[in-house]
Amino acid sequence: MLLARTALLLLFAFGQCVLGASKSYYNVLGLDKQATDKQIKSAYRQLSKKYHPDKNPNDPSAKDKFVEVSEAYEALIDEKSRQDYDRYGHEAYLQRQQQQGGGGGQHHDPFDLFSRFFGGGGHFGSQGQRRGQSIEIKVGIALRDFYVGRTTEFQWDKQQICEECAGTGSADGHVETCHTCQGHGIRIVKHQLAPGMYQQVQMQCDACGGRGKTIKHKCPACGGARVVRKPATVSVTIQRGMADGTKIAYENEADASPDYVAGDLIVTLVEKDPDLDTDNPDRVDGTFFRRKNDDLFWREVLSLREAWMGDWSRNLTHLDGHVVRLGRPRGQVVQPGHVETVPGEGMPKWHEDGDDVYHKTEFGNLFVEYVVVLPDQMDRGMEKDFHSVFQKWRGKVGVDLHKDSGRPDPVSHAGHDHEEL
């Protein structure tokens, strides 16, 4: 009996250790211990929006996950706090936080943390919060990236809530109610129109700028404006075959402000002109393909001999480096302006599933237009040989193009004869 009870206690203790070990703020954010501050911020942005209670009104567990994500972010984004967490582990870290914070920990309101990232009062528009304008940015993407797919980054000058004052605009955190408008942000001004006649006009309070609050000691970083403009880095993923002009929406990533919830950042992918230095490191021909929907177009130059006699080949290097072979056997003529269709060598056709076991990527076609370059001069011997050959075959299979065209014969006028040009 005693042995059974001891075994049960050991099993319970082992289970607690396993549960404690599996609990990790890194796991909460889906990161490893080598994660950078940038990756931590990115994970918080995505998960806080995913589990925000306003977005999950029918899921009681969403609020707990939202709070947990906020706690994980606060613990890992601060350098000293993260060092303590890595040194002592999850449970010991929480105990130290409770002891230092008087039993309640040192975590802030998760909605306050959310508002510092996205503006407003920490809630989405469902709570009556005013929403800021969405912003559209065009990003130039090389054709090669549309073909093979790529994840890249760009920067833009974004309005962000001041981190120095947490969006209060005050250096000491003290904000007073405006005495002029009594915190309403507006005041009533009376104008006399005539003796005994007055008009009342509602105007924005000029003392507080309509905020209803005044600041005695302004934040040195934002000058009391509560927001600053700083470069913000955005990661964008170009999937294979995405169309030119595709729009990608980043929810609540537009300009932020304490007065409203940030709007959406709309990123439009636009194909840019090829650049040999940056877009063509492998010197592939495909960099200069032209695209129309799912098809690609290329212009290939042939000499007179190649177009007339055949017996030539070309290795066309595609956007991903594979080779498309063009050519003609001896005796096969290529007419100037002829367009050849090469099936399956165009753009990949975009599909939401990509290329996996459930869907195989299909491709458009490659259209090759042939341009024949004629020699601008010949030496006398070559001209004599060609003329002899042409005269020989002209007598056998020659065609009178003028007669075949159906045009009227030239009419001679007496005294007005001219030589043909």
Task: Express each pLDDT in 17-30 by its tens digit.
Answer: 444 445 788 888 88
The CATH code of domain 129-166+220-272 reads 2.60.260.20
Tell me the CB-side half-sphere exposure of residue 97, using CA atoms within 13 A.
20
Give the model confidence (pLDDT) of 305-340 as tens digits: 899 889 999 999 999 989 999 999 998 999 999 999
The pLDDT tens digits of the residues spanning 36-94 come to 887 888 888 888 888 888 778 888 888 888 888 888 888 888 888 888 888 878 887 77
185-207 mean pLDDT:
79
Range 273-406 has CATH code 2.60.260.20? yes
- Listed in order, the ranges of the chain carrying CATH 1.10.287.110 are 17-107
Phi, psi dihedrals of residue 366, rounded to the nearest 5°: -105, 125
CB 263 within 8 A of CB 125: no
> 71 is written with which tokens?
């706690």
Average pLDDT, the chain: 81
* Predicted pLDDT of residue 12: 41
Look at residue 341 and tell me whether its pLDDT is greater than 90: yes
219, exposed or middle or buried, with CB in 10 Å at 0-12, 13-18, 19+? buried
**Predicted TM-score (pTM) of this structure:** 0.69
pLDDT value at residue 180: 80
Q: What is the pLDDT of residue 104?
A: 40
**What is the mean pLDDT of the segment spanning 371-381?**
86
pLDDT higher than threshold 60 for residue 116: yes
Give the model's confidence band at 132: pLDDT under 50 very low, under 70 low, under 90 confident, else very high: confident
The angle that helices 79-88 and 90-100 make with each other, rounded to 10 degrees, is 130
Tokens of 221: 């970083």
- Confidence category of residue 105, pLDDT binned at 50, 70, 90: very low
Between the alpha carbon of residue 196 and those of residues 189, 191, 250, the distances in Å are: 16, 11, 57
State the architecture of 17-107 in CATH terms: Orthogonal Bundle (1.10)
Domain with CATH 2.60.260.20 in the chain: 129-166+220-272, 273-406
Q: Percentage of the chain with pLDDT > 70?
A: 82
- What pLDDT is stored for residue 373 in this prediction? 92
Q: What is the pLDDT of residue 15?
A: 45
pLDDT at 3 over 70: no
Least confident of 11-20, 195-204, 249-258, 333-342: 11-20
Query: Given this model, what pLDDT does residue 408 score?
Result: 80
Position 126 pLDDT exceeds 50: no
Cβ distance 247 to 268 under 8 Å? yes
Q: What does the pLDDT average to over 203-228?
A: 83
Lowest mean pLDDT among 143-157, 220-234, 376-390: 376-390
Please say whether the beta carbons of 217 and 170 come within 8 A. yes
